[in-house]
C-alpha cells in the first residue's frame, strides 16, 4: 500500500480508470472486456483511452453476450489471465447469473481447490435517476452478497474506488464490483501510485458517539450529509460505518461501533425484504449487542424502481430519512428534519448540471 499523502483530487470515475490502468501496466495478464469499453464514452470515463494506451486486445469491445462473456473470463482466468469484465448496468449482468453463481462463485469450492482459482472482477453499475426506471436502476447488492464464494465490493469514495479496484484485481476470487452511477462524478482525494485498499475492511467514515449508521456505496454519501446536519443542528453525533465490502464482511468494526453507540441504522441501496440491511440487524441481534432503541432499516421500498420523478422522489431514501431515523433512536431532534436543507437540484439527478440520460 502506498502511503503518499492524498492531496490530489480525482473523480470516482477517474479513480477507477487510474486503478485499471495501473493494473494493466503492472500485470500483463490483466485485461478489460465489456460492451463499450473502448467506445468514445468509455463506460462513463472509467475505461477512457485504455485501448489507445494498452492496445485493443487489453481493452476489448464485445457482442451482446453477457453469459458467454462471463464464461469466457472464467476460462481466461483459469488459463492464467486476470480479466475485468464490465457491465454498464447491474440489470444487464442478470443474463450472466448462471455463470456467476453456478460457475465462478463455486469453482474453487466444488472442485475442492483442484479446479483452480477464478481471479475475475465483474464491474456492475447501479443506475439511478433521469427516469431510468425498473430495469436500469436496481442494485441487487444483497443478491450477490448472498452467494458464498463471491466477494462483493461497493466503494463510496474515489480513493476507495481506486484502492478496492486494485485489490479486487489482485484477489484470486471472483469479485463483484458495484459502482453507483451517482458516484462517478464525485471528486475526492485519491492516493497516487499503486494504491490498494484491502477487501473485507469497513471504514469508519465519520466517528460519532450517539448512533451508528451502517451504509455502503452511495448511501454513505447520504449518511455523511445526515451526520453533518445532525451534528450541527441537533447535537446528535452519528457514526458512519462505510461497509466497502459486503462479503467478506468486517462485522467486527460494525460491532465495535454499535457497542459504543448502542444505536443502529442500516442504510442500504436495495430493496428491503431479505436484504443486506436485514443481515446486519440479524448479526447485531445474534451477537447480543445491546441497543437503546430498536434498530432501523432505511432501504428502497419493496417495489421496482419507478421512472417518474414524482415516484422516484419517494422511492429513494436520502439524508433526511437517515437523520430522522437516527434522531428517533437517540430521542432528540427529530422535528428538525423539516429544517433539513433542500436538495440543490431535482431529485432525479445527482447534481444540477447532470445532463442525463444515463
Partner 1 sequence: MMANSPVPLSQPPRAETSSQICDRLWRLYLEMLRIRVIERRIAERYGEKEMRCPVHLSIGQEAVAVGVCAHLRKQDKVMSAHRSHGHYLAKGGNIRAMLAELYGREAGCCGGRGGSMHLIDREAGFWGAVPIVGSTMPIALGLALADKRRGGDELTTAFFGEGATEEGVFTETLNLACVLRVPMLFICENNGFSVYTPLSLRRAPDFEFGSYVRSHGSLYFSGHGNDVEEVFALTGQALSAMRQDPGRPCVVEFSTWRYYEHCGPGQDDHLGYREAEQIKHWAERCPLAVARTRLLALSPALDPEMTAAEKRYIREIDAVIENVRSSPMPDAATLQRGVFAP
Cβ proximity to partner 1: between 148 and 344 the closer is 148
∠ CA 9-14-19, nearest 5°, is: 100
Peptide bond into 346 cis (omega under 30): no
Stretch binding partner 1 (CB under 8 A), from 58-66, 176-184, 285-293, 307-315? 58-66
Q: How far is Cα 111 from Cα 235, in angstroms, rounded to an integer?
A: 55
- Report the chain's terminal Cα–Cα distance, integer Å: 34
346 lines the binding site for partner 1 (CB under 8 A) = no
Separation between Cα atoms, residue 316 and residue 319, nearest integer Å: 10
Determine which residue in the list 43, 48, 50, 77 makes contact with partner 1, applying CB under 8 A: 77
Dihedral sign of CA atoms 90, 91, 92, 96 in order: positive
Between 67 and 209, CB nearer to partner 1 = 67
Min. distance of Cβ 128 from partner 1 in angstroms?
A: 29
Q: How far apart are CA 298 and CA 304, in angstroms?
A: 16
Q: Does 55 bind partner 1 (CB under 8 A)?
A: no
Identified binder of partner 1 from the candidate list 6, 36, 71, 189, rule CB under 8 A = 71
Task: Indicate whether 98 belongs to the interface with partner 1 (CB under 8 A).
Answer: yes
Q: Select which of 14, 18, 87, 136 is catalytic.
A: 136
How far is 181 from 151, CA to CA, in rounded Å?
A: 20
Determine which residue in the list 3, 5, 148, 355 makes contact with partner 1, applying CB under 8 A.
148
CA distances for 168 relative to 65, 103, 139, 255, angstroms: 23, 18, 19, 25
Compute how many residues bind partner 1; rule: CB under 8 A. Answer: 41
Task: Tell me, yes or no, if 9 is annotated catalytic.
Answer: no
Residue 151: Cβ within 10 Å count: 23
Number of H helices, E strands in the chain: 13, 14
H helices present in 27-139, as ranges: 50-54, 66-78, 90-93, 97, 107-110
Q: How far apart are CA 153 and CA 112, in angstroms?
A: 25
Q: Does residue 78 interact with partner 1 by CB under 8 A? A: yes
Work out which of 35, 69, 215, 277 binds partner 1, going by CB under 8 A. Answer: 69
By the rule CB under 8 A, 80 interacts with partner 1: yes
Is 116 near partner 1 (CB under 8 A)? Answer: yes
Query: Which one among 11, 46, 103, 299 touches partner 1, defined by CB under 8 A?
Result: 103
Closest CA to 47 of 23, 65, 63: 23
Choosing from 66, 170, 179, 279, the catalytic residue is 66
Among 74, 202, 221, 330, binds partner 1 (CB under 8 A): 74
Q: Is 180 a catalytic residue?
A: no
Asked whether the beta carbons of 199 and 163 are under 8 A apart, the reply is no
Nearest distance from C-beta of residue 255 to partner 1, angstroms: 21
Question: Shortest Cβ distance from residue 59 to partner 1 (Å)?
Answer: 14
What is the dihedral angle through the alpha carbons of 229, 230, 234, 239, rounded to the nearest 10 degrees? -150
Contact with partner 1 (CB under 8 A) among 88, 138, 173, 271 = 173
Q: Point out which residues bind partner 1 (CB under 8 A).
A: 57, 62-63, 65, 67-81, 98-99, 102-103, 107-118, 148-149, 151, 172-173, 248
Active site residues: 66, 136
Amino acid at each position: 500500500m502506498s502511503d503518499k499523502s492524498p492531496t490530489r483530487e480525482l473523480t470516482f470515475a477517474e479513480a477507477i480508470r487510474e486503478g485499471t490502468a495501473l493494473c494493466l501496466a503492472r500485470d500483463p495478464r490483466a485485461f478489460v472486456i465489456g460492451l463499450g469499453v473502448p467506445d468514445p464514452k468509455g463506460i462513463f470515463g472509467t475505461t477512457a483511452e485504455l485501448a489507445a494506451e494498452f492496445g485493443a486486445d487489453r481493452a476489448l469491445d464485445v457482442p451482446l453476450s453477457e453469459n458467454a462473456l462471463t464464461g469466457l473470463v472464467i476460462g481466461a482466468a483459469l488459463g492464467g489471465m486476470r480479466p475485468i469484465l464490465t457491465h454498464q448496468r447491474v440489470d444487464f449482468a442478470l443474463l450472466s447469473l448462471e455463470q456467476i453463481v453456478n460457475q465462478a462463485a463455486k469453482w474453487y469450492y466444488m472442485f475442492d481447490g483442484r479446479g483452480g482459482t477464478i481471479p475475475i472482477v465483474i464491474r456492475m453499475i447501479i443506475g439511478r435517476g433521469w427516469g431510468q426506471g425498473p430495469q436500469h436502476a436496481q442494485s441487487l447488492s444483497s443478491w450477490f452478497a448472498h452467494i458464498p464464494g463471491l466477494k462483493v465490493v461497493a466503494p463510496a469514495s474515489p480513493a476507495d474506488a481506486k484502492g478496492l479496484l486494485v485489490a479486487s484485481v489482485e484477489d484470486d476470487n471472483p469479485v463483484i464490483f458495484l459502482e453507483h452511477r451517482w458516484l462517478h462524478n464525485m471528486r475526492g482525494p485519491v492516493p497516487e501510485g499503486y494504491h490498494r485498499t484491502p477487501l473485507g475492511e469497513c471504514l469508519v467514515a465519520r466517528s460519532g458517539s450517539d448512533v451508528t449508521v451502517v451504509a455502503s456505496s452511495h448511501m454513505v454519501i447520504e449518511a455523511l450529509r445526515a451526520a453533518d446536519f445532525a451534528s450541527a443542528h441537533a447535537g446528535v453525533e452519528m457514526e458512519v460505518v462505510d461497509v466497502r465490502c459486503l462479503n467478506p464482511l468486517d462485522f467486527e468494526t460494525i460491532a465495535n461501533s454499535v457497542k459504543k453507540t448502542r444505536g443502529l441504522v442500516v442504510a442500504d441501496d436495495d430493496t428491503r425484504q431479505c436484504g443486506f440491511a436485514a443481515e446486519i440487524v440479524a448479526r447485531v441481534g445474534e451477537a447480543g449487542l445491546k441497543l437503546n432503541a430498536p434498530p432501523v432499516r432505511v432501504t428502497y421500498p419493496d417495489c421496482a424502481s419507478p421512472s417518474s420523478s414524482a415516484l422516484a422522489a419517494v422511492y429513494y431514501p436520502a439524508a433526511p430519512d437517515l437523520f430522522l431515523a437516527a434522531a428517533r433512536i437517540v430521542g432528540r431532534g427529530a422535528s428538525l428534519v423539516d429544517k433539513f436543507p433542500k436538495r440543490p437540484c431535482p431529485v432525479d439527478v445527482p447534481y444540477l448540471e447532470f445532463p442525463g440520460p444515463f
